[in-house]
Amino acid sequence: MKFTEEHEWLEAEGDLVIVGITAYAAEQLGDLVFVELPDVGTEVAKDDEVVVIESVKAASDILAPLDGEIVEVNEALTDEPTKVNEDATGDGWMFKMKLTNPSDMDNLLDEDAYKALIA
């Protein structure tokens, strides 16, 4: 698993990458009440806004961690956005993408570096 400084996690699954927000980010946001997911087939560039989330505390944008194409979204979050709070790195995943350059994952934080960031 890799992490961004914007509190996203990425996990490789074959030639795809699963993306979500970290448990730390979900905790900081509080209970999610709304998640707007991107359309499948959307081409994104790193730092494009791809997901809009609203919590009891704030509204936030989730940015594309890397360049690629959205190939699947977690439709369950539309009806149950609290899945992100309950299991941020499991059932609370947001989307899957096919990366333009899979080697870009090497430039992201590993778990130890992420833990140091949030310490």
| Contact criterion met (CB below 8 Å) for 109 and 115 | no
Structure confidence at residue 91 (pLDDT): 96
Topology of domain 2-101, per CATH?
A: OB fold (Dihydrolipoamide Acetyltransferase, E2P) (2.40.50)
Half-sphere exposure of 100 (CA within 13 A, CB side): 11
Look at residue 58 in the predicted model and tell me its pLDDT: 87
Sign of the C-alpha dihedral computed for residues 3, 69, 63 and 93 taken in this order: negative
What residues form DSSP beta bridges with 97? 17, 70
What pLDDT, in 10s, does the model give residues 23-82? 999 999 999 999 999 999 999 999 999 999 999 988 999 999 999 999 999 999 999 999
Domain boundaries, the chain: 2-101
Residue listed under structure tokens 């080697």? 103
For the stretch 65-101, pLDDT in tens is 999 999 999 999 999 999 999 999 999 999 999 999 9
